[in-house]
Amino acid sequence: MSKTRIKLGMVGGGATAFIGAVHRIAMRMDDRFELVAGALDVDVERGRVFAETLGIAPERTYATYQELIDKEARRPDRVDAVVIVTPNFLHFPIAKAALEAGFDVICEKPMTTTLADAKALAALVQSTGRRFFLTHTYTGYPMVRQAREMIAAGEIGKLRRVEVEYLQDWLAAPVENTGAEGAVWRTDPKKAGAGGAIGDVGTHAWNLAAFVCGEEPTHILAELSTLVEGRRVDDDAAILMRYASGAKGSILASQVLPGNGNNVSFRIYGDKAGLEWWQEKPEELWFTRLGEPRQMIRRNGAGATGAAIAGSRVPAAHPEGYLEAFANLYRDAADLLSGETTATMVPSARDGVSGSKFVEACLKSNAAGNIWTEVD
């Protein structure tokens, strides 16, 4: 039986944008969505030309997000959801307008640039009854979902320590001074938010830890550094974490460490066993019971859980990675939007608020001299 595709309108993600293309690939992978409208670029003519290459009709190619939301709301064949892939400072006003117009929202992280806006947006999601999906990519990996299931099932025992790293090197030099588009806005606190590395990659690490462990720290101690001279936001961060359960942890989030492309990893230990995962070898999850040899569990292999198998697309021993993980978020969103399920593993507005609390706590801790600070 064929399914009706969910119609999407995209804001941002034009010809020169990186993440917009990733979203478009992910939404097409399971053939559950159709991109029919867009306000793709601040350069309106460039956006119109690019929209034509994507097959978007001229009458549904808009100059601004306000025009997209206003005109689509009046169409009998209106879009079902709005996808937001703009710089951070635009997430809140676009999402707010979309929700108020009755659209569901799929949004890039972080949800907003301030905690106040995050809380306001979450309240609006609640009051409107619309769906809000936050694309924290790493929650879509099959072996990350496997780790989540194993921990929930008690496989590692009582949680003891959580270590998460997100390391990059693309901002190791002041590339924003060359006009590099992604670097310019990410190092501008007015557009990215007050947090640099902590907002861009630190929120991913925070969300990954919470997703896998099923609990969040209550207190953090953060040391934020700006290692590239003249930069206006942090580009390197070391964060200690305390959990109500007694577990400890840390996050290392940096964008200035040579030799690291997109080095995301976690090591999670309980009193019975430990789990290790590395995004650059995403199909491998290492599981070690106390007193036993390390065991490698592979996607679709022996020991794979239901979540890992459901999140896999290609046969075992064929490589699967980032784009498929991203597509899992879209597939899960489609299942929820079409009424096929009432539960999803896609991060929500609640996760967006949590990420904003993390950033604010980091900023407070650092400003106060690197002291323990409640995440609230």
Question: Which residues is 275 bridged to in the sheet?
Answer: 268, 287
Q: Which amino acid is at 66?
A: Q
In angstroms, rounded to a whole number, what is the distance separating the alpha carbons of residues 42 and 289? Answer: 53
- Residue 129 CA to residue 103 CA, distance in Å, equals 10
Look-up: residue for tokens 């096929």? 340
| Residue 1 exposure: Cα atoms within 13 Å on the Cβ side | 2
| Residues 144/148/151/155 CA torsion (nearest 10 deg) | -60
pLDDT on residue 3? 67
**Predicted TM-score (pTM) above 0.75:** yes
Q: Could you tell me which residues come within 8 angstroms of residue 221 by beta carbon, excluding any fewer than 6 positions away?
A: 239, 240, 365, 370, 371, 372, 373
pLDDT value of residue 111: 97
- pLDDT for 2: 46
d(CA 15, CA 40): 8
pLDDT along the chain (376 residues), means of 10: 82 94 97 97 96 98 98 98 98 98 98 98 98 98 97 98 98 96 95 97 98 98 98 98 98 98 98 98 97 93 87 84 96 94 90 98 98 97
Instruction: Supply the pLDDT for residue 1.
Output: 36
Nearest-angstrom CA–CA distance, 59 and 157: 57
